[in-house]
Amino acid sequence: MESTIQKNSQLVRSHAARLGFSFCGIAQAEFLEDEAPKLEAWLNKGYHGKMSYLENYFDKRLDPRLLVPGAKSVITLGYNYFPAQDLASNGNLKIAKYAYGEDYHFVVKDKLKELLAVLQSSIGAIEGRAFVDSAPVMERAWAQRAGTGWIGKNSLLLNKQMGSFFFLAELIVDLDLAYDTPVKDYCGTCTACMDACPTDAIPEPYVVDGSKCISYFTIELKEAIPNDVKGKFENWIFGCDICQDVCPWNRFSKPHQEKRFEPSEDLKKLSESDWKEITEEIFQQVFKKSAVKRTKLDGLQRNISFLK
């Protein structure tokens, strides 16, 4: 007879698939012992740049039981965002693929909340929290532990079936489930991501110097972009996909099926001159529900003018 743990685990996986998640893996909620020294070394080297929030909640980042008392399981889910059309291939100014449509925080969080609600109604009283890149959760470490992929040399999670163009999300719950086991690293001797990065933001395999990343400069950094990286952005004005575009595993990426991630006609029509002359009105119209709003208009204009 199937155990309750197995039955509940199958319930998690089947509902995750029904809601459109590309994969689902489960790991035991415990202290991330291996990650503690790595995180400390990364912070000590200043690789987080001006993202001082990454220094906060050190203990909570490493132990999900401090986020959800009594937590037993970390459920990792992946949600595909690979677009049917690469808007960066037209020689125009470029924004990262993840920002083409509606802000993923809302799209994926809606799905996660629905999954938690379904589990609570099916299984009974479950305490849990949903996370989408919004709290001190080391999502890639949990995704790796849950067997959904391995962490690549560009520090992103890679999945054999679909590459890396997906969002990671987690449900941390006080429910015993059947745990998955990690998969092996399939990067081999490949250094495509390291070789392609124009700002040398990957100084050694599996370590990214966040303070040199084009995504950091164009999104996180609120002050002037330093002149020593001028001419190196290859027309990226919001985020950057270079280390993913060159990754051989992304040849397996298939277009997503999420309507809310589709780029608007307004975005598709923006020419280089439109970007350079963008007004507050157009900015609000085109990026009303987009992650691009994070930079605000003046941040986007700063990024565009920096390319000159």
CB atoms within 10 A of CB 120: 15
As a dihedral over the C-alpha atoms of residue 210, residue 211, residue 213, residue 216, rounded to 10 degrees, the angle is 90
Per-residue pLDDT band for 1 (boundaries 50, 70, 90) equals very low
Give buried/exposed letters for 6-25 (b at 16+ CB in 10 A, else e): eebbeebbebbeebebbbbb
DSSP string, 66-128: GTSTT--EEEEEEEE---SS-GGGGSS-EE-GGGSSS-HHHHHHHHHHHHHHHHHHHH----E
Please compute the mean of the pLDDT values over residues 101-123 and round it to a whole number.
94
Q: Which of 29-33, 68-72, 304-308 has the lowest mean pLDDT?
A: 304-308
Q: Has 174 been annotated as catalytic?
A: no
Q: Name the pairing type of β-strands 128-131 and 166-173.
A: antiparallel
Task: Give pLDDT, residue 135.
Answer: 80
Tell me the C-alpha distance between 285 and 282, whole Å: 5
What is the tens place of the pLDDT at every residue in 215-250?
A: 999 999 999 999 999 999 999 999 999 999 999 999
Counting the structural domains of the chain, the total is: 1
Tokens of 267: 């975005």
How confident is the model at residue 2, as a pLDDT?
66
CA distance 184 to 176: 25
Q: Please, are residues 21 and 38 in contact by the beta-carbon 8 Å criterion? A: no
Span 17-52, pLDDT tens digits: 999 999 999 999 999 999 999 999 999 999 999 998
In a domain, 198, yes or no: yes
**Inside any domain, residue 276:** no
Q: How do 73-80 and 23-28 pair as beta strands?
A: antiparallel
Residue 184 within any structural domain of the chain: yes
Q: Is residue 267 one of the residues assigned to a domain?
A: no
119-166 pLDDT tens trace? 999 998 899 999 998 788 999 999 999 999 999 999 999 999 999 999
183-212 residue pLDDT tens:
999 999 999 999 999 999 999 999 999 999
In a domain, residue 274? The reply is: no
Residue 232 lies in a domain: yes
Residues 6+ apart with CB under 8 A from 48: 42, 54, 55, 210, 211
The token pair at 28 is 């035991």
3-state SS class at 204: strand
Q: Is residue 296 part of a domain?
A: no
For residue 101, what are the CA distances in angstroms to 80, 133, 168, 183? 13, 17, 17, 31
Residue type, 252: F
Percent of the chain with pLDDT over 90: 93
Annotated catalytic residue: which of 63, 110, 133, 176?
133
Across the range 269-289, mean pLDDT stands at 94
The pLDDT score that the predictor gives to residue 12 is 96
Strand segments, DSSP code E, in the chain are 23-28, 73-80, 94-95, 128-131, 150-151, 157-158, 166-173, 236-238
Residue 136, pLDDT score: 87
Domain containing 246 equals: 1-262
Averaged pLDDT, 64-84: 97
Confirm whether 183 is domain-assigned.
Answer: yes
